[in-house]
C-alpha cells in the first residue's frame, strides 16, 4: 500500500515571496504519478500540477513547480511570487500507473498543508 | 457547463434518516469515485466505478450504497444516518488509460447530521 506524508500542517508566506511545501511518499511501485491539488475556502479541489515518475524533468505550471526526487521519494511544491489567491489547503497525492482501462486508478492523499499568504 | 456536478451542495438532516447525493459528469470519463473528507480535511476513497462496474469498495459501513445507472452518473445513498457521517463528500471522475490525468472533482456536498 502507498502512503503519502505531508509534515507541515500549516505554513505562511508573505505576498510576492516564494514558499516550498514538502511531500514524501512510500511505494514499491516503479511507475506512478504524483499530483498537487489545491483546496481554497470554496472547497473545490483544483489540480495544480502533475508529475510522471518516469520523467526526470521536473514539472512546471506558471508560478508552480515541483522538485521530484525519485530515489528519495520526495515531491515538493514551490510557489513563486505568492498571491493572496494562493491561500488554500494543498494536498499531495499518489496514483499507481495502471495499464488496464478497467483498473482502479486510486488517488492516495496526504493530510494536507494549510498555506496562508499574508498581505 | 460544469464538468462534475454534485447535488445538493449542503445537506442537513436528522439522525436515522436516509439521504442521497447525486453526481453527474459530462467529460466522457469512464471511471467515477466517491471520497469522504473528514473534519481534519483528510480525504479517503470510499468507492470507485468503471463503466458502471464497482471496482473499489473500501471498508465503508454497508449503510452506504453507491449506484451507477450509467457511466456518467454515480449516486451515493446513505441509510440510517449517524452523527459520525457528518463530512464533506466528493465525487470525482477520471479518464480511461493509465491515470496520468488525475481526477476532476465535483464541488463537494457538506453533510451535517444532527
Tell which B residues from 52 to 111 touch A, by Cβ distance under 8 Å: 53, 55-56, 88, 90, 92, 94, 96-105, 107-108, 110
Alpha-carbon gap: B82 to the closest alpha carbon of chain A (Å): 23
List Cβ neighbours of B60 (8 Å cut-off, separation of 6 or more): B46, B47
| Omega within 30 of 0 (cis) for the link into B8 | yes
Contact A89 B45 (CB under 8 A): no
pLDDT value of position A103:
58
**B107 vs A contacts (CB less than 8 Å):** 42-44
Facing residue for A45 by CB, picked from B90, B99, B101: B90
User: Of A103, A72, A84, nearest to A15 (Cα)?
Assistant: A84
User: Of A64, A36, A74, nearest to B103 (Cα)?
Assistant: A36
Q: What would the grid cell of residue A8 be?
A: 507541515
pLDDT band at A100 (very low <50, low <70, confident <90, very high): low
How buried is A24 (Cβ within 10 angstroms: 0-12 exposed, 13-18 middle, 19+ buried)?
middle
Alpha-carbon gap: A104 to the closest alpha carbon of chain B (Å): 6
Q: What is the mean pLDDT of chain A?
A: 93
- Measured CA to CA, the distance from residue B49 to residue B35 in angstroms comes to 12
Residue B61, number of CB atoms within 10 A of its CB: 12
Q: Which of B89, B100, B106, B107 to mutate to test the interface with A (most CBs of A within 10 A)?
A: B100
Q: Tens digit of pLDDT for each residue in B24-57? A: 999 988 889 999 999 999 999 999 888 778 887 7
pLDDT value of position B98:
57
- Measured CA to CA, the distance from residue B47 to residue B34 in angstroms comes to 5
Tell which B residues from 6 to 45 touch A, by Cβ distance under 8 Å: 30-31, 33, 40-45
Cβ pairs bridging A and B (under 8 Å): 76
pLDDT value of position B71:
87
Facing residue for A33 by CB, picked from B30, B99, B105: B99
Contact A33 B40 (CB under 8 A): no
Q: Tens digit of pLDDT for each residue in B68-109? A: 999 899 999 999 999 999 999 999 998 866 566 788 999 999
pLDDT value of position A1:
76
pLDDT at position A93 over 80: yes
For the ranges A40-54, A92-106, B8-22, B75-89, which has the lowest average pLDDT? A92-106
Q: Tens digit of pLDDT for each residue in A32-91? A: 999 999 999 999 999 999 999 988 899 999 999 999 999 999 999 999 999 999 999 999
Residue with cell 447525486: B22
**B103 vs A contacts (CB less than 8 Å):** 45, 47, 107
Number of Cα atoms under 13 Å in the Cβ half of residue B54: 11
Amino acid at each position: 500500500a502507498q502512503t503519502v506524508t505531508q509534515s507541515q500542517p500549516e505554513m505562511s508566506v508573505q505576498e510576492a515571496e516564494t514558499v516550498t511545501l514538502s511531500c514524501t511518499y512510500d511505494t514499491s511501485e516503479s511507475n506512478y504519478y504524483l499530483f498537487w491539488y489545491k483546496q481554497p475556502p470554496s472547497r473545490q479541489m483544483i489540480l495544480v500540477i502533475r508529475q510522471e515518475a518516469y520523467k526526470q524533468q521536473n514539472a512546471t505550471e506558471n508560478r508552480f513547480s515541483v522538485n521530484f526526487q525519485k530515489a528519495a521519494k520526495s515531491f515538493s511544491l514551490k510557489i513563486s511570487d505568492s498571491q493572496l489567491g494562493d491561500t488554500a489547503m494543498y494536498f499531495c497525492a499518489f496514483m499507481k500507473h495502471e495499464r488496464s482501462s478497467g483498473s482502479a486508478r486510486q488517488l492516495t492523499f496526504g493530510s494536507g498543508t494549510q498555506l496562508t499568504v499574508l498581505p | 457547463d460544469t464538468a462534475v456536478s454534485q447535488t445538493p451542495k449542503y445537506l442537513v438532516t436528522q439522525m436515522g434518516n436516509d439521504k442521497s447525493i447525486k453526481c453527474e459528469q459530462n467529460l466522457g470519463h469512464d471511471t467515477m469515485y466517491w471520497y469522504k473528507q473528514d473534519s481534519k480535511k483528510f480525504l479517503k476513497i470510499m468507492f470507485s466505478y468503471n463503466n458502471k462496474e464497482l471496482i473499489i469498495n473500501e471498508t465503508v459501513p454497508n449503510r452506504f450504497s453507491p449506484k451507477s445507472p450509467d457511466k456518467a452518473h454515480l449516486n451515493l445513498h446513505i441509510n440510517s444516518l449517524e452523527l459520525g457521517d457528518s463530512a464533506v463528500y466528493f465525487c470525482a471522475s477520471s479518464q480511461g488509460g493509465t491515470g496520468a490525468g488525475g481526477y476532476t472533482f465535483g464541488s463537494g456536498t457538506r453533510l451535517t447530521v444532527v
